[in-house]
Chains A and B, each alone.
Chain A
Amino acid sequence: MGGKNSIQQFLRLPFIWMFLFFLILPYLMPLIKGYTALASEILIYAMFALGFNLLLSYTGLPSFGHAAFFGIGAYGMAITQLKWAKDLWLGLFMGMIAAGLFAAIVGAILCRKRGIYFSLLTLAFGQMFFFIAFRWDEVTGGETGLTGLGRPPLKLPGLPAIDLTGPMAFYLFTLAVFMVVMVLVWRLVRSPFGSVLQSIKQNEIRAKYLGYNTVFYKWISFTISGIISGLAGAMFLLQHGAVFPTYLHWTESGNVVMVTIMGGGVINFFGPILGAGIFVILQNAIGALTEHWLFILGLIFISIIMIIPEGILGLFKRAKTAQ
């Protein structure tokens, strides 16, 4: 492999272009009456959807309770800040650990279940966590949640602490976290582990008969997906400085399903990212016009699924096949 060759290969990687696009995204936001913080929200939501899609499209497990892990990640970050230390890395780490731990427990119970039973049980567990967050005043703040939380400065070894309170600084930090998550998930789904997940999705009994302990693989996938969702939740807390039980509500779980499918996550790795962008922007645009934005968003979602069941990126696939 020559030097030039590897540069060419490097440039062929889609996430290089994605990175460049996201670098200028905050400057594009005003065109659609957006702002920098909205761009951060897109990235956070995209992270959540990528984690969710690892389970949906790469393992074949439709979870209807994923907001629980997102919310647990946010609470993990909040409680760490309140009770322990106002530290960015520790908070993110605890958010991921908390979400991962609960995902591991729920996954251990659910990964033997298949199809609709799996989905309904994730929904039930999600609501269970929602009610715990709603009721447990001492820890979660109950209905009013935990508010007034700040953004601890970013500390990197050998560098002075960086203040993240400005929207642009926080956006760039979010972009960095997002890129790491995206590249890791990208590698994961292309790894030998990822190929096993694919085989489980396509025919679990055959995968078992190849010698894979499919329940164990599904459990690992579930846990990783939970960890990524938790990280997204912790970032969401940093973005808003508050967490409420509604973060865990099943309607939020429904949103991430919608985002992922609408963008084309089922057929394309980048689908959830596109879906997240559309969701956040539409929510902002329609939300400014009417309170009933979810209704309109629902109509848009239904129309897209009726016309292109594979999601928006399905259009490109069709165009390719037509050529």
Chain B
Amino acid sequence: MPILTTQDLTIAFGGLRAVDQVNLEIEKGRLTSVIGPNGAGKTTLFNLLTGFYRPTHGKIFFDNKEITFLPVHKIVKLGISRSFQILKIFNEMTVFENIRVAVQAQMNHGMEFFASCDRLIDVRKRAEEILEEIHLTVKASIKAKNLSYGDKRILEIGLSLAGNPQVLLLDEPTCGVGAHERGRIARFIHDLTKKWTVLLVEHDMDIVMGISDRIVVMQQGRIIADGTPEEIKNNETVKEVYLGGKYCLA
């Protein structure tokens, strides 16, 4: 059963079709990776799926409901969440406060004007659970800006998890992370698939090949291949556009 579907999804910026007639079905409970050279339209696809951009053409369905022109915050509330390639965490808040404000959104406590944040016991409990899940409990009271880069990356994903989404879009979660921390983040992402449907954009081919159930290859806004890691590795078109370039399929 696909949980997230696109029909002829297209967006044009002037003459450039950044995403061009993409038909995609994301299966529930699986990890699907989207790969492709820079400028292939991967991040634009994420921006379309989450309502950040409005498509020029085409439709998006989530859980059999059309979400094409819904604003970001409504799509998030329905259950699609994302992380960003460029960190978007709340630097001046502690790790705990970061997660708390995220949980608060899901529990609809944002419009309480004179209560104290500390009094929202249900929010606090849930925030503590998430901190456990992302292994940042011991760092709960550290300001986000003072975390190590790897931990910031984990917090970035943690913020996306806090809304308890059904589908999680991860945009290059290992971007800028040193080699020694990549394994940790890869394992972390792999663990996520036990609970969540994950759509992953990633340049590290070891990670993509190692943890994906399915790989979608994009080039110039179009899907040029779609299959299991094994199939993609042996796909002639992919080899042509991809292998000759800067990436190497292990």
Interface residues of A (CB under 8 A from B): 184, 187-188, 190-196, 198-199, 202-203, 205-214, 217
Contact = CB atoms under 8 A, between A and B. Distances in A.
B136 interface: no
Contact of B162 (A187, A188, A205, A210): A210
Nearest to B118: A190
B176 interface: no
B73 A213 contact: yes
A206 B88 contact: yes
Contact of A196 (B81, B84, B104, B123): B104
A119 to B, nearest CB: 21
Contact of B114 (A191, A196, A198): A191
B72 A203 contact: no
B186 interface: no
Contact of B73 (A193, A195, A198, A208): A208
Interface of B: 50, 71-73, 76-77, 81-82, 84, 88-93, 97, 100-102, 104-106, 109-117, 120, 123, 159-160, 162-163
A5 to B, nearest CB: 16
Contact of B104 (A187, A195, A202): A195
Contacts of A207: 101
Given A199-B90, A202-B93, A206-B90, A211 B101 contact: no
A191 B77 CA distance: 21
Contacts of A206: 84, 88-90, 159
B50 to A, nearest CB: 7
Contacts of B76: 208-211
Contacts of B90: 198-199, 202-203, 206
Contacts of B73: 208, 211-214
26 contacts: A191-B115, A192-B112, A193-B112, A193-B113, A194-B117, A195-B97, A195-B117, A196-B104, A196-B110, A198-B93, A199-B101, A206-B88, A206-B89, A206-B159, A207-B101, A208-B72, A208-B73, A209-B159, A210-B101, A210-B106, A210-B162, A211-B76, A211-B77, A211-B163, A212-B105, A214-B73
A212 B110 contact: yes
Contacts of A217: 110
B181 to A, nearest CB: 22
Contacts of B105: 196, 210-212
Given A188-B113, A198-B92, 10 more contacts: A190-B116, A202-B93, A207-B101, A209-B82, A209-B88, A210-B76, A210-B101, A211-B73, A212-B110, A214-B73
A188 B114 CA distance: 5
A217 B73 CA distance: 12
Most chain B beta-carbon neighbours within 10 Å: one of A193, A199, A203, A205: A199
Given A202-B91, A205-B88, A209-B76, A192 B120 contact: yes
Contacts of A202: 90-93
Contacts of A184: 114
A193 B111 contact: yes
A212 B159 CA distance: 13
B109 to A, nearest CB: 5
Contacts of B106: 210-211
B163 to A, nearest CB: 6
A205 B160 CA distance: 12
Nearest to A186: B114
Nearest to A196: B110
A157 to B, nearest CB: 23
Contact of A209 (B111, B114, B117, B160): B160
Contacts of B117: 190-192, 194-195
A213 B50 CA distance: 14
Contacts of B71: 213
Nearest to A183: B114
Contacts of B115: 191-192
Contacts of A212: 73, 105, 110
Contacts of A196: 101, 104-105, 110
Nearest 8 A/B pairs, CB to CB: A206-B88, A211-B76, A210-B105, A211-B105, A202-B90, A192-B112, A192-B109, A187-B114
Most chain A beta-carbon neighbours within 10 Å: one of B113, B116, B123: B113
Nearest to B110: A196
A210 B100 CA distance: 11
B114 A210 contact: no
A207 B159 CA distance: 10
Nearest to B98: A199
